[in-house]
Amino acid sequence: MANKWVVRPEGVIMVSLVLLTFSCTRRVQGLPFPAPDFKNCNNSEGCCPPPYNGALIQDFYVFDPTLPMRIRQPAHLLDDAYIAKYQRAYQLLRELPDSDGRSWKNQGKLHCAYCNAAFYFPIDKSRLEIHYGWLFFAWHRFFLYFHERILAKLLDDDTFALPFWNWDNQSTDPPLANVLPYAFANKKYQNKSSSLYDVNRNVCTKRPNIIDLQSTLECVNQTATLKASLREANNRIMYNQMVTGAPIRRLFFGESYELGGVAGLGAGTMEAIPHGTVHFWTGNPKATVEFADMGIFRYSAYDPTFFAHHGNVDRLWEVWKALPGGNRKDITDSDYLNTEFLFYDENGNLVKVKISQALNHISTLRYKYANVPNLWIHSGSDAAYKSCFPASTTEINKMILNTHALNTSNLNTFANSTITFSVQRPAKKQLHGEEVLVIGGVNVTGSEFKFLIQAFLYFPTANVNTSITCPQFFGVLSNPALTFGDTVPDSKKEWRLALTSKLQSLSMDQFSHVVVTLVEATGSFPQYLQLKLTAKIVYFEY
């Protein structure tokens, strides 16, 4: 039986009497998900793809090594000839009949079904959900691969590759990477209706607006000053979510999830922000169905930007593994590697894949990404900014003495949009692995989804006007608008923030407690957001 994520029990420190149960170790299922049967699909939102009536389901064990190596290019650098081909591919896809499993409609339904827990397994009543856990990256890699191969087949061009939207690139050199790519931005292209256009896009995406990786749906006039601030904040988000916030695979990929387990217990650092906020920023909050298309699971794959967006997410998976530090590795758990999915291939056949087949995308899937600069590695680092709250050792110790632990006997409330509390750290001799602050009890009780909580260390005066460029910033939580038929109680979800490298970068690793300030960054506490916060510090094994 495979070992799941392990938390050292001796590393657990409870700050107060917790009313919500936290487990120091995950329940071990020991079984990977088998490929779902499309007949076992139940969803009230119309997600289920049509039952498969074709030939026998094929295994993806024999791939075609003769395929040319395809190079996925950044969308902001595409020339007119490539955009014309790209547009032609989607026009042909949209013309396929609904009876074809490869069709535009069925591609959207396939994503909807996997992302809305529509597939079920009668043997133990499990439902498969590929978000908020370790299935996220691999499933989307396969989805993009087969979608790309379908487009290539329609074009009769095996060299065709999907472009990626390089939204993490905050360079001011034209053409800009952090705006909606030109290929998607126009209703018409070369005097023809564009198959890459989607009517359900947020007004925020109008060029030359640049992306906001902390999007809370507010669109404001982007002055030169505001754009400069957004670029800095975007770089900080990228650095935190990729570097200091994700030094180990458990934090990057999210919580384990096996057959019979509970879905949605913990997304990796990249999944909610910036992945979720790019969806949020792109989808139209005033559409007939709120947040359609990109802003909600069941519709997001109906906007062609979905595939360019996820191309960049997939690229960043590879970037993360190449960052300095020997702990950034793919998951080796057998339940993860043997989890199976079904996809329609370019010939309209259902194909069964295993996650293990997605890990070496160069040799197995035959694609690469064009090299682009990852400017946030340097410009978003802690070293690039001065401390916003410099304090001596004596002042920090006094701060710790004057700061209370969380009181979970009542609902926690933001006073002037902030909450500050202390958490005791485990003894140094117990150190083994990454020290992680785990926060629970952020509960959403209504149909609204607009909140953004930022976390700061040893900065009790942080507030809604505090910039995340401050080195004391170390995490951000947003409830994405991408809701699904979620059966996971909010009280079971946890927010995990890496501490080891952050404390070292602040030269504050010597203190017995951490002092945490949470800021509700939208400036007004939403009534549907209830807090019964709990906090603890644990060690996650490397």
Active-site annotation holder among 76, 309, 310, 361: 310
Q: What are the φ and ψ backbone dihedral angles of 241, each rounded to 5 degrees? A: -75, -25
The DSSP result for 234-260, as a single string, is HHHHHHIIIIIT-SSHHHHHB----TT
Instruction: Report the alpha-carbon distance of residue 468 to residue 375 in Å, rounded.
Output: 17
Peptide bond before 208: cis, by omega within 30 degrees of 0? yes
Instruction: Report the alpha-carbon distance of residue 181 to residue 205 in Å, rounded.
Output: 10
For residue 11, CA distances in Å to 449, 504, 537 come to 34, 19, 7
Instruction: Report the alpha-carbon distance of residue 55 to residue 43 in Å, rounded.
Output: 25
CB 232 within 8 A of CB 438: no
DSSP state of 344: E
Told to judge if 432 belongs to the known catalytic residues of this protein, a careful annotator would answer: no
And the tokens for 376?
């946030």
Active-site annotation holder among 33, 38, 60, 131: 131
Instruction: Report the alpha-carbon distance of residue 229 to residue 61 in Å, rounded.
Output: 48
Active-site annotation holder among 22, 33, 60, 111: 111
Told to judge if 131 belongs to the known catalytic residues of this protein, a careful annotator would answer: yes
For residue 12, CA distances in Å to 250, 312, 425, 439, 476 come to 17, 36, 9, 13, 23
Active-site annotation holder among 76, 275, 309, 361: 275
Instruction: Report the alpha-carbon distance of residue 400 to residue 398 in Å, rounded.
Output: 5
Active-site annotation holder among 60, 76, 140, 341: 140
- Identity of the amino acid at 153: K
> CA-based Rg of the chain, rounded to a whole angstrom?
23
Closest CA to 168 of 383, 312, 307: 312
Told to judge if 361 belongs to the known catalytic residues of this protein, a careful annotator would answer: no
Each residue of 125-147: b (16+ CB within 10 Å) or e?
Answer: ebbbbbbbbbbbbbbbbbbbbbb
The DSSP result for 284-323, as a single string, is -TTSSSTTTTTTSHHHHTTSTHHHHHHHHHHHHHHHHHHS
Told to judge if 275 belongs to the known catalytic residues of this protein, a careful annotator would answer: yes
Active-site annotation holder among 297, 307, 343, 473: 297
Active-site annotation holder among 22, 119, 253, 279: 279
3-state SS class at 475: strand
| Residue 219, CA atoms < 13 Å, CB-side half-sphere | 17
Q: What are the φ and ψ backbone dihedral angles of 359, each rounded to 5 degrees? A: -75, -40
The vertex-498 CA angle with 492 and 504, nearest 5°, equals 160
Catalytic residue set: 111, 131, 140, 275, 279, 297, 310
